[in-house]
Amino acid sequence: MSYPQIIINTRAGVRFVKEMDIVACKADGNYTTLLLQDGKRHTISKKLKDIEIQLSKIFFRIHHSHMVNLEHLVSMKNGHDLKVILSEGSELEVSKRRKGEFLTLFKRL
């Protein structure tokens, strides 16, 4: 079976990362850090909005600077702020602006 991939240029060459192995993406200016399920992080020289276009609908932009793979969600904490807990242990806040759309997504599942 073929899975969509992201190409990462490293000092050693080119690495192909399967979309399903990406837990989350974090914006950092003109760069994006990919957090992988094995705990590794790779920073690439693309903006998060460019990565968002490449990735499939299993990813959701929870914040201006974060996008998560919905397949890696473990739980949610709904208090003053909505937070998601990911499979490798990260806890990220869902922005107030995206909270309604995010919760609506789960009502449809």
Band (109; pLDDT cuts 50, 70, 90):
low
Give the integer Cα–Cα distance in Å for 60 and 69. Answer: 7
Amino acid identity at 73: L
Q: Look-up: residue for tokens 């739980």?
A: 75
How confident is the model over 45-72, as pLDDT tens digits? 999 999 999 898 899 999 999 999 999 9
Q: Give the chain's domains with CATH numbers.
A: 5-108 (2.40.50.1020)
pLDDT of amino acid 4: 83
Amino acid identity at 16: F
pTM: 0.89
